[in-house]
Amino acid sequence: MFDTRFNCLPTMIGSLPHTDPVKACALVNRFLKELPAWPQLPKRIFREDMNAQYSEGFPGVVLRGGSVKIDRSGGFHQALENLYTAFLSNDIKQYPTGKDYAAGLNNILADSGKLAAVKGQVVGPLTWGLSVTDETGKAIIYDDILGDAVPKFLKLKAIWQESQLSRISPKTVMFIDEPYMTAFGSATFTLSRDRVIAMMNEVFQGLRGIKGIHCCANTDWSVLLATNTDIISFDAYNFASSLILYPAEVKDFYQRGGVIAWGIVPNTVHDIERESVASLRDRLESAMSPFTHRGVRFKQLIEQGLVTPSCGLAGLSEELAEQVLALLAELSANIRVKYT
What pLDDT does residue 112 have?
A: 64
Cα–Cα distance between 2 and 232 in angstroms, integer?
16
Contacts for 62 with CB less than 8 Å, ≥ 6 apart: 68, 69, 70, 71
What pLDDT does residue 287 have?
A: 96
Which residue type does 164 have? Q
| Contact criterion met (CB below 8 Å) for 166 and 188 | no
What pLDDT does residue 1 have?
A: 56
What pLDDT does residue 114 have?
A: 82
What pLDDT does residue 253 have?
A: 97
Cα–Cα distance between 284 and 303 in angstroms, integer?
14
For the chain, give the mean pLDDT. Answer: 95
Helix (H, G, I), strand (E, B) or coil at 40: strand
Backbone angles phi, psi at 79, to 5 degrees: -65, -40
**CA-closest candidate to residue 32, choices 309, 267, 262:** 309
What pLDDT does residue 180 have?
A: 94
| Contact criterion met (CB below 8 Å) for 37 and 28 | yes
Cα–Cα distance between 84 and 43 in angstroms, integer?
33
The architecture CATH gives domain 9-339: Alpha-Beta Barrel (3.20)
What pLDDT does residue 187 have?
A: 81
Helix %, strand %, coil % for the chain, to 5? 50, 15, 40
Q: Would the CA dihedral through 87, 88, 94, 96 be positive or negative?
A: positive
Residues of the chain with pLDDT under 70: 1, 112
Q: What is the pTM of this model?
A: 0.96
Helix (H, G, I), strand (E, B) or coil at 170: coil
